[in-house]
């Protein structure tokens, strides 16, 4: 345990004493999860790179890959080069391609580990003359690059398509063309506007219910080329509704960082697998909970995962797109990286009060690996803000 003084919303300072961290599950117990579980992993910036951090991408490849090994050791798959890795928010396509290459190379030495890789249209220049065929060609270029590395694909939502599409038919055309040519079944990602405002109205409708039906139509028409769909709408009810309408061979991968415990546990009509940014932050608890679930211990699963939900809701609070700051902050507190510097300067995206509450909630969720180290690092941050 450790004691430190943290700021509160009423501008006071209060003493806080940490509890006991969770016990990491053994490697033997994490081999046979009864759910597929991917953690969307963050990238570690290079703090000594001589760059303009708001403009240039500088990644510490060694530490970034080391973090992937940490996730694999806990039995989790890695969802690479996606939103948590600041894709489109500091990580451009050349950086994403290099990141995917590093991760796939690392995975070759670990038989049986899972990796899926995000592809999109983020290298398409945003000009007024963009056409649907340009979007298709850009998707094809990224598909070709990742399939050449033997990477499994996650087809990410396209900002360009959201901006250019005039009707659901444009989505049908784009997804029909690219799914017809992928080598292996892919995961389709529906990222909601709370994560990326540029994706509002995706699938050709402003209303999520209508958008869902448009998306389901594309999935049904291309079911043989789709392993699953990941939706990130932060709505339990919408995910369950869509899950129940999917073709039998298509999985639902929850991207709901507010309700993941309930959705993974499932109900009498099915369950969701997982592809979650929060699993980066709570990896030991996610792994330990999945061990319990796989053993038929539903109460034990909820006992481990439910305390992490308030932490996740805090990390992903609006503006949700800044959740990466909390994920990286927690990795730093836990000694998984030596600094709290982010690609794009995003360490400044959350307030000190937000980070102080994150510390408390992480402790209550038992995901501070070494409370004394975490407290020492929190004190350093407080000192930078004049509170020590």
Q: Residue 226: enclosing H or E segment and its boundaries? A: strand 226-232
Residue 123 CB: number of other CB atoms within 10 A? Answer: 13
pLDDT (0 to 100) of residue 285: 97
Count of alpha carbons within 13 angstroms of residue 207, beta-carbon side = 3
Note if the pTM is more than 0.85.
yes
- pLDDT tens for each residue of 254-270: 999 999 999 999 999 99
Count of alpha carbons within 13 angstroms of residue 186, beta-carbon side = 27
| Intervals of the chain under pLDDT 50 | none
Question: What is the pairing mode between strands 13-17 and 3-7?
Answer: antiparallel
pLDDT (0 to 100) of residue 141: 98
Which candidate, 227, 267, 244, 286, places its Cα nearest to that of 25? 286
pLDDT (0 to 100) of residue 288: 97
pLDDT (0 to 100) of residue 77: 98
The CA-CA-CA angle for residues 24, 377, 23, to 5°, reads 10
Alpha helices in the chain (DSSP H): 61-73, 93-108, 132-147, 159-164, 168-179, 208-221, 236-245, 260-265, 278-281, 283-294, 298-305, 308-315, 323-333, 352-364, 371-384
pLDDT (0 to 100) of residue 73: 97
pLDDT (0 to 100) of residue 256: 96
Ordered by where they begin, the domains of the chain are: 27-322 (3.20.20.70)
pLDDT (0 to 100) of residue 235: 96
pLDDT (0 to 100) of residue 31: 87
Q: Token pair of 274, please?
A: 């997982």
pLDDT (0 to 100) of residue 105: 98
């Amino acid at each position: 345990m450790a004691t430190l003084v943290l700021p509160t919303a009423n501008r006071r300072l209060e003493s806080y004493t940490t509890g006991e961290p969770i016990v990491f599950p053994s490697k033997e117990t994490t081999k046979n999860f009864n759910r597929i579980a991917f953690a969307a992993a963050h990238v570690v910036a290079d703090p000594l790179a001589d760059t303009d951090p708001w403009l240039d991408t500088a990644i510490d490849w060694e530490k970034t890959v080391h973090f992937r090994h940490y996730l694999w050791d806990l039995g989790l798959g890695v969802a690479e080069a996606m939103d948590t890795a600041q894709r489109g928010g500091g990580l451009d396509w050349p950086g994403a391609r290099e990141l995917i290459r590093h991760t796939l190379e690392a995975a070759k030495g670990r038989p049986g580990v899972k990796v899926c890789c995000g592809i999109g249209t983020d290298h398409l220049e945003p000009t007024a003359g963009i056409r649907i065929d340009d979007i298709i060609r850009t998707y094809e270029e990224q598909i070709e690059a990742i399939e050449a590395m033997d990477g499994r694909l996650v087809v990410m939502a396209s900002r360009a398509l959201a901006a250019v599409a005039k009707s659901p038919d444009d989505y049908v055309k784009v997804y029909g063309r690219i799914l017809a040519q992928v080598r292996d079944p892919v995961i389709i990602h529906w990222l909601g506007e709370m994560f990326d405002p540029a994706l509002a109205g995706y699938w050709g409708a402003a209303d999520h219910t209508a958008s869902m039906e448009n998306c389901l139509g594309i999935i049904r028409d291309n079911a043989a080329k789709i392993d699953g769909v990941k939706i990130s709408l932060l709505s339990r009810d919408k995910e369950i509704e869509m899950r129940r309408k999917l073709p039998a061979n298509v999985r639902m991968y929850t991207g709901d960082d507010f309700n993941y415990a309930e959705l993974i546990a499932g109900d009498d009509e099915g369950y969701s697998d997982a592809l979650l940014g929060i699993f980066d932050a709570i990896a030991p608890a996610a792994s330990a909970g999945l061990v319990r679930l796989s053993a038929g211990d539903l109460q034990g699963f909820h006992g481990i995962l439910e305390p992490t939900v308030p932490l996740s809701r805090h990390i992903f609070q609006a503006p949700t797109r800044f959740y990466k700051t909390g994920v990286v902050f927690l990795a730093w507190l836990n000694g998984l990286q030596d600094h709290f510097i982010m690609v794009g300067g995003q360490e400044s995206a959350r307030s000190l009060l937000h980070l102080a509450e994150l510390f408390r909630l992480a402790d209550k969720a038992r995901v501070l690996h070494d409370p004394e180290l975490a407290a020492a690092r929190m004190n350093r941050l407080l000192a930078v803000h004049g509170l020590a």
